[in-house]
Amino acid sequence: MTDLIPFEKILKEALKNGGEFADIFFEQTYSVAIVCEEDRIEKMISGRDIGLGLRVLFDGRTFYSFTNRLGEEDLLQLASVVSRAVKEDCGGRIFNFLDRGRISPSAPSIFPPRAPIEKHPQGIPIREKVSMVNRANEVARKLDSRVRQVKVLYRDASQFVSIANSEGLWVEGERVGTIFTVQVVTSQEDIIQTGYEPIGGTMGFELFDLCPTEKVAEIAGRRSLLMLSARKAPMGKMIVVLSSDAGGTMIHEAVGHGLEADLAQQGLSVYSGKIGEKVASSLITVVDDPTLPQRRGAYTFDDEGVVSQRTLLVEKGILKSYLYDRLSAFKDGISST
């Protein structure tokens, strides 16, 4: 499909009236989603999404448009629309694409997944996916007479991505992800509790070799049943011990968003202007690492074509770096993380 997309022509057209940087994001995604509720398959959706987005950066601003019409004439028209918007905004300050000598390479760099996909979801019959969902539902419902509701969700996606930009980058690769969750509601007298268990990762059906769906259903059900007899949490200041999963979520919310460079640059983060300062206990080190194979959130390159890397954010309580995308990296004169 990307053989028919004139990446270089599109970038030249997008930048002919001005701008500092342009990039193209093309994706074609196949996905399946199955939901079981009320003891029956309530929803089953499968299909393909395809489209191309074009972005131009200029003077800290973003000009963007997208389409799912992929003929050459349509794509050049898309580029022309973005280019005119840039011209109206930049007042004729022209960035000449050819003078800078930056063109798309003649062939893309192909990035395979960091871990091989052993059982690609597209090769698994839909009836097998439905059967798996039904089995999990049955296991959860048979656990105990106090089980009232069960919801089972299966989702997989296979996304082919191609990214090219005016700095000469062109990367392509496939991202495969699979998710399975079970939620169980139980009740006893006037007490209602919920148990939830998710599994998933950047992998195919081999996910269920590592953790069978029946086990996921049992964990969610037993967690909900356990909560029925749980004591009420006392009020007051307490020492809290976090599991690794809960700790990751807390760090994501309390630290991760605050370290997004665009927020820090605008003074909207508690971490603004604090690089090199102590922001946490010396026991705390925070790392952003999308290179970990098969984990949810792992990737070989991001949606701007930047190859994944391990970024040290906080080291022994000292703030070391923010999380940068290309636009915020341009502003600070560094490379995107």
Per-residue pLDDT tens digits for 254-290: 899 999 999 999 999 999 999 999 999 999 999 999 9
- The residue assigned the tokens 């007051």 is 236
Does the structural domain 2-228 have CATH classification 3.40.50.2000?
A: no
State yes or no: pLDDT of 99 exceeds 70. no
Report the chain's mean pLDDT, rounded to a whole number. 92
pLDDT band at 242 (very low <50, low <70, confident <90, very high): confident
What is the pLDDT at residue 296?
86
State yes or no: pLDDT of 91 exceeds 90. no
Residue, of 222 and 296, whose pLDDT is higher = 222
Residue ranges covered by each domain of the chain: 2-228, 244-332
Residue, of 131 and 250, whose pLDDT is higher = 131
What is the pLDDT at residue 98?
46
The vertex-308 CA angle with 304 and 310, nearest 5°, equals: 135
pLDDT (average), residues 136-144 = 98
What is the pLDDT at residue 93?
55
pLDDT band at 115 (very low <50, low <70, confident <90, very high): confident
Contact 120, 159 (CB under 8 A): no
What is the pLDDT at residue 100?
52
State pLDDT tens for residues 21-34.
Answer: 999 999 999 999 99
Positive or negative torsion for Cα 24, 331, 268, 91: negative
Percent of the chain whose pLDDT exceeds 90: 81
What is the pLDDT at residue 88?
87
What is the pLDDT at residue 258?
96
| Strand 109-111 versus strand 170-188 pairing type | parallel
State yes or no: pLDDT of 97 exceeds 50. no
State yes or no: pLDDT of 220 exceeds 50. yes
Contact 68, 182 (CB under 8 A): no
What is the pLDDT at residue 117?
94
> Judging by beta carbons within 10 Å of its beta carbon (0-12, 13-18, 19+), is residue 190 exposed, middle or buried?
exposed
State yes or no: pLDDT of 59 exceeds 90. no
pLDDT band at 2 (very low <50, low <70, confident <90, very high): confident
What is the pLDDT at residue 3?
81
Distance CA 310, CA 120 (A): 27
State yes or no: pLDDT of 104 exceeds 70. no
Q: First CA to last CA across the chain, in angstroms?
A: 29
State pLDDT tens for residues 300-320.
Answer: 999 999 999 999 999 999 999
pLDDT (average), residues 177-196 = 97
